[in-house]
Structure 1
Amino acid sequence: MLLKGYRIVDSICWIKKGSQKKYKKRPGFHLRHSKEICLVGLKGSVPPNMNAFSADDIIEEVPGQNSEKPEAINDIVEKLCPGGWYIELFARKNNLREGWVSVGDEL
């Protein structure tokens, strides 16, 4: 993001829930991972229609099949910047969404 002129302005944390309200643990490099972070970037000035403070930055949901991300992440981004340009990196076929540019090696 930074190399393309974007600056990181915030993040959204997806806490992966499992059965019996425990965290879903996936193998990481050094630790077991129970979360994913979505970086929110901005290029240029803040758009006049930006809805700051319109959503929480934490989502607690059960992962879908094949690491499917919750739609709540896309909903938050679309609510934050209505009518904006949206991109999802590391996208998969099960996460394609109309109005988004999706980039990934599994498409």
Structure 2
Amino acid sequence: MDWKFFLGLTIPAVGAAFVWLTKVAREDPPLYAEIDGVLTRWIPTALFAVVFLMVFSMVTWDAGRGDVGFIGGILILGLLQLRSAFPFFRRVAALPRPHRETPAEEQRTTR
């Protein structure tokens, strides 16, 4: 796989993960707390796996060392970026929840 193609797929995926986590943290803090607990435990494991597979692939596959290095670097940066954003998501989850209008209240405000 070409690293430029992979980067083109990864940037929107990381952005979508940030938007989704912000939405979940805002609308359902208990669910976000569960997701946070799982991701906090698994991101270090994923980082180790990416580094291990990147080094293993670079040792065994001479022709694609550059691509493997770039793809591994992109994955590592995405995971580190996600991990470093957890304090922001925790602060979003701690915000007071917005007041939701009932359908009857919505109809009164739109008339």
Q: What band does the TM-score fall into relative to the shorter chain?
A: under 0.3
Greater fraction of residues in helix: 2
**Quick check: which has more Rg, 1 or 2?**
2
Task: Report which of the two has the higher share of strand.
Answer: 1
TM-score by length of 2: 0.22
